[in-house]
Amino acid sequence: MRPRSSVAQAPVDNGKKPRRPPKKRARGSDVDGNQQNVEVVKSGAKKAKWQPRPGKLAALMNLPLDVLFEVFGHLNPLDILRLARTTKEFRRVLMHRSSMSVWKNARDNVPNMPDCPPFWTEPHYANLAFDPHCHECGAPGVRNVDWRIGRRICAKCSKICMVDAYHGESVISGLVPSKYGKRGRLLFYRKDVEEVQKNLHLLAGSDGLEPYREERRAFVKEMETQAIALEAWAASQAKDRSDQLEDARRDRKTAIIERLTEIGWGDEIEHIPYTDDLSHHKLVKQPTRLTDRIWNNIKKDMVKYMEEMRTRRLERERKALLIARRRTAIGVLRSYKTDHLPFTDVMPEPVDFCSFPEVIEIVELPTETDVTEASFAGVASQMDDLVHSWRNHIHSQLRARVKDNLVYSGKRRARAERVTPDPLYEEYVESLGVIMDVKGKKKEVSLPVPDDAEIDRMIPLATTVFRCKTCTPSIGLPGDLSDSEYDDFLDILGGRRSRSIPLFYPKVMGHCCLTRSRTLPWDYFATDDPNFRIDFPMSTRTKWNTHLLQVDEEASKAARTVVEACGEDPLITTATKMDELDPRLACLDCMKWSKHEVNQGEVPVFSWRSAVQHRMREHRPDRQPAKWKKLEGELLEESNRNASEAHKFMHIFDFQPFPPASIIWLCVHCMDLPQERECYELGKMKNHLSTIHGIEEPVEDQDYYKDYEAPQGRRSDFKPSDSTVTLSMERPPHVPLPGRCFFGFDEYDEDDEDEEDYGDYDEDDFYFNNPFFPLF
């Protein structure tokens, strides 16, 4: 044990600071402004807990209650509700029954607000009517009140706390308030349903069950009555609020217009269209009063917007000026076309004419330059050269289209068949002097591509047939459906028939679908540009193009058989020459054999164009060899005589025997204008000239003219036959003789009244035109 030292040791430093003299804290001066008192605070005493600094209205509760209630009576119910949620003192006072006069006075400040229903308290009524929060999750921004159930419920909570009538018992349908949901279903508040079900379970079998039911029914009925009045009041409040906001926006717009007018934008504001009206601007449509500070903040943006409006106005004026100039240019085109009636070649449409560089140069002159019809005098003097150049251009497009079709069809045929081409194509290749090198079967053949000169020689041929994919579809439906599944199904049955109208050169150059489009631009009704607009039928003019044309291979094969039947060479005979010859052909495949004569029958007669179309519609060119007979001499005279008699018979009964041939007339006065229409019959054309233009005695090629596309026509009407003729030829072995039927029995006696009359039955139609009996 260490001995104690006799020397006094220094105090150990334990980290504690030496005590300081007590601090003096100054108190606030008294009301009279005397000197502040000084309070001595011991340094070791515990500090007081921090408390919020009292506000300016902290002494409001010290006022007498009658004064306090008088002040609160000038507030709105929502203000009273929020004030009751601030402090415990306010809540204790405002939620007491003695404060009901405050809530009623505040409710009276709201115009036309109904009295509080007897089953709600005033605070609950104010909370439901004015506080936009969900009563389930407290989410803000819930604007809609379900007055029929007395709650505000957001869409998310509505999926959970609302049930329909099928989830609850049917006995509660009249005991619980409900509302209509989607598809007219009745929805109930889940907690109300559970509460009613619980009470019904507790009162089951007691005397209080029926009084409870009556009480609930009366409550539901009263709540529905109150809900109707409250819904009407809420709707009127929403409308009033909307009117107030609209008035505020209107006042703000007026103030902004005044400010913009002061700085020189008044005239520009008057030219602003409705689509760009100032009321649509985000800085103008705000329901806030315009102050000097707000105007200084938005002035720069509003000036920028006005500059944009000026730019748009200049663009609109420039566009309107160009439209007016194009209208003048179209007048020059119409004069040129009128002078060249009847048309012997295709003419440009307004869109094509206005795209000429010479016309564009005049149309797009500066705005300050005055452009009149005299400005196009130079263009009018060289119209022949311009139109000739345009025709060469579109012919090159047609040549490219034909070339693409030949290349595509050759590749498709070689890829599908993997064999040598068909004999017709072989003959064509041999005519070009090309030797085909085929190294065995089932090898893909590289087909030669003809040059431009050869294509120019092929296009005018009568064996080059075009089809339009828009106006001449398969199966009579819009569009090109030649590769559809339905067509493939009909191919299996052998029953598909092409409804396309054969188009031949040069008339195909004037086909209407090449310069028309059924799709309308978005500003079709907002502009009056005659450059592209057609009012009836509602469509749009387009530049001449060939994207809807394609070479119809099947029709070309049918045309080849027709040309050969006429004794002409299909490699050199053009469609124009066939029109000049105008032969009449009888279809031997459609012969109806006589029931009295053995080697005699009646056959339909066609022109060469109708014969091609008939072959495509009524027969299969790829399955049956064509059997045509060219009518000459007495047979031709008989055919013409029969056609004349049929025409007279149809005329007596006011029928139109050949509609496609007669719908070929167009109006000169409507040419290239928006009111231009489709082709008319001659009678309707004269009626149009009399009704619309007041011309009682029209003159051909002066008031009306023949469409350049005729006789192909602009409609898909099918002309079955020109007439019929009786031929004498040997009856085939498979056709039964007169007096015999197919199955070897004797034919019925026409004079026997007991036999059933089957009418004019044709056996050939049964076997040869039935797709289920193909011939091989």
Q: What's the pLDDT score for residue 286? A: 94
Q: What's the pLDDT score for residue 517? A: 84
Phi-psi region of 174 (alpha: psi -120 to 50; beta: other; left: phi over 0): alpha
Q: What's the pLDDT score for residue 467? A: 87
Q: What's the pLDDT score for residue 749? A: 45
Question: 333 pLDDT exceeds 60?
Answer: yes
Question: 21 pLDDT exceeds 80?
Answer: no
The answer to whether the pTM exceeds 0.85 is no
Which one is predicted more confidently, 443 or 190? 190
Question: 700 pLDDT exceeds 90?
Answer: yes
Which one is predicted more confidently, 34 or 564? 564
CA dihedral 56, 62, 67, 72 (to 10 degrees): 50
What are the structure tokens assigned to 471, written together? 């106006």
Q: What's the pLDDT score for residue 23? A: 52
Q: What's the pLDDT score for residue 151? A: 92
Cβ–Cβ < 8 Å for 73, 105: yes
User: How sure is the predictor about 769, in pLDDT bands with cuts at 50, 70 and 90?
Assistant: very low
Question: 168 pLDDT exceeds 90?
Answer: no
CB atoms within 10 A of CB 52: 6
Q: What's the pLDDT score for residue 36? A: 46
Give 649-691 pLDDT, tens digit per residue.
444 444 444 444 478 899 999 999 988 988 888 889 999 999 9
CA dist list (Å): 385 to 329, 515, 579, 621 = 17, 21, 29, 44
The helix or strand, by DSSP H or E, that contains position 561, with its residue range, turns out to be helix 553-565
Termini Cα distance of the chain: 137
Q: Compute the distance between CA of residue 506 and CA of residue 346 in angstroms, rounded to an integer.
A: 8
Please compute the mean of the pLDDT values over residues 463-481 and round it to a whole number: 63
3-state DSSP helix/strand/coil % of the chain, to nearest 5? 45, 10, 45
CA–CA–CA angle 300, 301, 307 (5° rounding): 95
Q: Return the half-sphere exposure (C-beta side, CA atoms, 13 A cut-off) of residue 540.
A: 13
Give 223-267 pLDDT, tens digit per residue.
999 999 999 999 999 999 999 999 999 999 999 999 999 999 999
Q: What is the CA radius of gyration of the chain?
A: 48
What are the structure tokens assigned to 7, written together? 């020397």
Question: 69 pLDDT exceeds 60?
Answer: yes
The residues, ordered by sequence, that sit 6+ positions from 539 with a Cβ below 8 Å of its Cβ are 516, 517, 518, 520
Question: 44 pLDDT exceeds 70?
Answer: no
Please compute the mean of the pLDDT values over residues 137-147 and round it to a whole number: 91
Q: What's the pLDDT score for residue 255? A: 96
The helix or strand, by DSSP H or E, that contains position 524, with its residue range, turns out to be none
Which one is predicted more confidently, 748 or 667? 667
Cβ–Cβ < 8 Å for 713, 663: yes
Please compute the mean of the pLDDT values over residues 501-511 and round it to a whole number: 90
Q: Domain locations in the chain? A: 58-243
User: How sure is the predictor about 22, in pLDDT bands with cuts at 50, 70 and 90?
Assistant: low
Which one is predicted more confidently, 717 or 552? 552
Question: 774 pLDDT exceeds 60?
Answer: no
Across the strands, what pairs with 667?
A: 704
Please compute the mean of the pLDDT values over residues 753-759 and round it to a whole number: 38
Specify the pairing of strand 665-667 against strand 704-706: antiparallel
Task: Please state, rounded to an integer, the average pLDDT across all residues of the chain.
Answer: 79
Q: Return the half-sphere exposure (C-beta side, CA atoms, 13 A cut-off) of residue 417.
A: 12
Q: Indicate the range of 175-189, 351-365, 437-451, 452-466 predicted with least confidence.
A: 437-451
Please compute the mean of the pLDDT values over residues 694-717 and round it to a whole number: 82
Please compute the mean of the pLDDT values over residues 38-43 and round it to a whole number: 48
Please compute the mean of the pLDDT values over residues 293-312 and round it to a whole number: 95
Q: Return the half-sphere exposure (C-beta side, CA atoms, 13 A cut-off) of residue 470.
A: 14
User: How sure is the predictor about 720, in pLDDT bands with cuts at 50, 70 and 90?
Assistant: low
Q: Compute the distance between CA of residue 556 and CA of residue 424 in angstroms, rounded to an integer.
A: 10
User: How sure is the predictor about 591, in pLDDT bands with cuts at 50, 70 and 90?
Assistant: confident
Give 380-416 pLDDT, tens digit per residue.
999 999 999 999 999 999 999 888 887 766 555 555 5
HEC string of 323-381? HHHHHHHHHHHHHHHHHCCCCCCCCCCHHHHHCCHHHHHHHCCCCCCCCCHHHHHHHHH
CA–CA–CA angle 653, 656, 661 (5° rounding): 160
Q: Compute the distance between CA of residue 475 and CA of residue 479 in angstroms, rounded to an integer.
A: 10
Q: What's the pLDDT score for residue 266? A: 93
Instruction: Report the percentage of the chain scoring pLDDT > 90.
Output: 43
Which one is predicted more confidently, 88 or 619? 88
Instruction: Report the percentage of the chain scoring pLDDT > 70.
Output: 73
Question: 171 pLDDT exceeds 50?
Answer: yes
Cβ–Cβ < 8 Å for 311, 271: no
Which one is predicted more confidently, 38 or 97? 97
Question: 444 pLDDT exceeds 50?
Answer: no
The helix or strand, by DSSP H or E, that contains position 551, with its residue range, turns out to be strand 549-551
Long-range Cβ pairs for the range 77-86 (8 Å, 24+): 77/103, 77/106, 77/107, 77/109, 77/110, 77/122, 77/125, 77/126, 77/129, 77/130, 78/126, 78/130, 78/131, 79/106, 80/106, 80/126, 81/123, 81/126, 81/127, 81/130, 81/131, 84/123
Which one is predicted more confidently, 144 or 33? 144
Alpha helices in 203-285 (DSSP H): 209-262, 266-270
